[in-house]
């Protein structure tokens, strides 16, 4: 029976949501996780952009934010403590955030492979734009010679995934100076690497294409939601 299930190509719903407040995205993830876990909804990939927010993963400490609460509020940055892996990171405008809500059971129950496959998707997408990107042994995420360009942090419950990745496209990198992100590793963006802004939709298009290829899934018609 396991063999029969594994032979069926999975379908993936892609929802491209535009700009979404972080708290609203968390609720959306929870609702979708429950449906995907119970198999009342197909695996789903959310692609979106957040207003300024710092998120603290399970290994993060409050000291990772290196400025006062007053300055954080003045800058309009929200702060959330969440259950994904990893430490502290920044999400903001000009960054593509992806939340793959996948049921890995029964044929894909391998957390490390899931993360490596997300890295592969992003590496291929970056390559399409002429960015040389790679993995670094012992670290999660996607790296370049000028620094880390994408962060990955996931949570898995009963083999259903939440949270995901953040790819710096046209991101204001100065916000990373306010936190101790990625163990102090420098961060960069596609804009900095290429010397010009990059159209977000075109990057999303390549991410969707490579999710289809790497995860061997059939992509349902992407859903665009204007906000």
Under 8 Å between Cβ of 34 and 87:
no
Other beta carbons within 10 angstroms of residue 167's beta carbon come to 27
- Residues recorded for the chain: 227
3-state SS, residue 101? strand
List of residues 6+ apart from 212 with CB closer than 8 A: 12, 218, 219
- Which of the 8 DSSP states describes residue 75? T
With residue 156 as reference, give the H or E element that holds it.
strand 147-157
* Residue tagged active-site, from 142, 182, 187, 190: 182
For the chain, the helix, strand and coil percentages under 3-state DSSP, each to the nearest 5? 35, 30, 35
How far CA 143 is from CA of 161, 182, 190, in Å, comes to 23, 11, 11
Query: CB count, 10 Å around CB of 183?
Result: 8
Cα three-residue angle 216-154-183, rounded to 5 degrees:
125
Read off the tokens for 81. 């403590």
- Catalytic, 36? Answer no
Q: Residue 138 has what DSSP assignment?
A: T
Active-site residue numbers? 182
């Amino acid at each position: 029976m396991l063999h029969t299930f594994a032979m069926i190509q999975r379908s993936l719903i892609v929802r491209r949501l535009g700009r979404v407040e972080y708290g609203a995205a968390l609720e959306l993830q929870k609702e979708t996780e429950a449906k995907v876990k119970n198999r009342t909804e197909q695996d789903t990939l959310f692609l979106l952009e957040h207003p300024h927010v710092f998120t603290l993963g399970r290994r993060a400490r409050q000291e990772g934010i290196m400025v006062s609460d007053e300055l954080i509020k003045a800058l309009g940055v929200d702060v959330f403590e969440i259950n994904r892996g990893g430490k502290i990171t920044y999400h903001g405008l000009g960054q593509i955030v992806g939340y793959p809500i996948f049921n890995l059971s029964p044929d894909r129950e391998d957390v490390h492979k899931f993360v490596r496959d997300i890295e592969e998707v992003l590496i291929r997408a970056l390559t399409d734009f002429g960015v040389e990107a790679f993995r670094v042994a012992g670290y999660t995420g996607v790296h370049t010679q000028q620094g880390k360009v994408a962060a990955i942090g996931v949570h898995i419950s009963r083999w259903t995934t939440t949270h995901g990745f953040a790819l710096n496209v046209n991101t204001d990198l100065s916000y990373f100076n306010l936190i101790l992100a990625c163990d102090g590793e420098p961060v960069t963006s596609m804009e900095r690497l290429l010397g010009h802004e990059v159209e977000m939709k075109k990057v999303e298009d390549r991410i969707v294409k490579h999710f289809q290829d790497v995860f061997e899934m059939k992509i349902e018609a992407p859903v665009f939601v204007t906000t």
